[in-house]
Amino acid sequence: MINAVVVINSDTTYLEDKFTSLGIKVFAFDQYCHNNLDKIQDIAYLESFINNILIDYQNVGLLYGSGLEDKPEIYDCLRRKLRILGNDPRIISKCNDLRLLANTLDECNLKFPEYINNAIGIKKRYLSKPFNSSGGYNISFSKKYKKNYYLQEYLQGETYSISFFNDKDNFIFLGFNKLLHLRNFDPHPFIHAGALTTNKFLESANIINSFKKLSEKLSMHGYNNIDFKILNEEVFVLDINPRITSTFKIYNDTYNNDLLRLIINPHLDKKLESHNNNRYAFVHMFAKEEYKFKNFFMGDPTFINLPNEGQRVGKNQPLLSIYLNSFSNLELMRRLKEKISITTNLYNCYDIDI
C-alpha cells in the first residue's frame, strides 16, 4: 500500500482531492493549478525532488495523465524510483504512432485512419497532428508535411471513446463516451472540450471484445481510454490514451472512489459496484478574450475548476468547467444546454458543439 503519490496531469485538482480522502500524501505537477509541469523535464531536479519525498515516505506511487507525452527522457527516472499506478510510461511512445501497431490492431479487428507523408493533390481531407501531444491541441486540417507532425486521414462522424480498467486477466469495461468540441475555436479546432456518457454501443459485444483483446496484447494496466469512430460498421482507432484522462472523474464518481482504490491496489478483493445509474457529462468552457474573473456561481456545484475572484484568464484559455449527472439522457442534455447557455450569456466564451 502506498502512503504517498506523485501525480502528473494537466490539472491535478480532482486527483489530489481523491487521494487525500484516502489518507495518501500527494505531490503534484500540473499546468493549470500549480503551474509547475515544465519543471519535471529537468532530470536532476526531478531526481532530487523524488529523493526528498523518499526520505519521509517509503512507498511512493506515480499516477499520470497528460503531460508526459513529450518527456520520454524522464521515463526511466520515474520507473526506477516510483511504483507506477497504471501503465509503464514507455507505452506512451508506442501508442503515439498507430502505424507501429498496425498488425496488432488488425488482429483485434480494429482499423486506423490512413497516414500519408504529403497530401497535396489528393482530394481526401487530412489532419496535421503532432507527435507527443494530448487534448487535441495543435491539430488542424492540412495537406503539408511539418516536422514532428504527421498527416492522418480525416474521418467524418462523431467521435467516441471507450473507458476501461485492466490488470492482467482482469478487464473491466467502464463505459462509452461521446467526445465534445468547441464551436469555431480557430486556434485549436479539435481541442477536447468535454464528454458525455452514452449507451449507443452497449449492445455491441464485438466492439468491447476488440478493445479487450487490444488491451491484452499491449499489456495495458490501470485506467485507459481509447478514442474511435465508426465508419461503415468498422471501428477506426484515432488515439490510444494509456493514462488517466478527463473521463476518469465520471467513472470514479460512479463507483464512489473505488476505481481509484482499484488502481492503487489492483488485487483488491472488491468488485466495482455502481452507486447510481445516472448519465454524466462535463464540458470545458474557453474564454474568447482576456477576462478578469467574476464568480456568478456561488453555491452551484455544477460549475467547477473556477478561477479565483479577480484572477485573470487569458484569451483562448480554459475559463471553467460544467459537470453534472442526471437520471436520463434527455434530462442530462436539457440541463447541460441550460448551463452552457447561462455561461455563454455571462461570459464571452466559446459555445460547445453538442
Task: Read off the pLDDT of residues 218-231 as tens digits, 9 standing for 90 and up.
Answer: 999 999 999 999 99
Q: Say what the pTM is.
A: 0.95
What CA–CA distance (Å, rounded) separates 220 from 264?
15
pLDDT tens for residues 297-335? 988 999 999 999 999 999 999 999 999 999 999 999 999
What is the side-by-side order of every strand in the sheet holding 140-141? Answer: 115-116, 149-153, 126-130, 140-141
Q: Which three cell numbers stand for residue 213?
A: 483483446
Buried residues in 21-50 as b, exposed as e (16+ CB within 10 A) = eeebebbbbbbeebeebeebeeeeebeebb
pLDDT at 263: 97
Task: Provide CATH 3.40.50 ranges for the chain.
Answer: 4-85
pLDDT at 121: 79
- Please list, in sequence order, all residues whose beta carbon lies within 8 angstroms of the beta carbon of residue 27, skipping any fewer than 6 positions away: 4, 5, 6, 7, 49, 53
Burial class (CB in 10 A: 0-12, 13-18, 19+), 183: exposed
**Which CATH number does the domain 160-353 belong to among 3.10.310.30, 3.40.50.800, 3.40.50.150, 3.30.470.20?**
3.30.470.20
Q: Which three cell numbers stand for residue 107?
A: 488482429
pLDDT at 134: 86
Low-confidence ranges of the chain (pLDDT < 50): none
What CA–CA distance (Å, rounded) separates 104 from 91?
14
Helix, strand and coil in the chain, % to nearest 5 = 30, 30, 45
What CA–CA distance (Å, rounded) separates 178 from 189?
17
Determine the residue type at 214: L
pLDDT tens for residues 251-300? 999 999 999 999 999 987 777 888 788 999 999 999 999 999 999 998 89
- Classify domain 4-85 by CATH architecture: 3-Layer(aba) Sandwich (3.40)
Task: Provide CATH 3.30.470.20 ranges for the chain.
Answer: 160-353
Other beta carbons less than 10 A from residue 51's beta carbon = 10
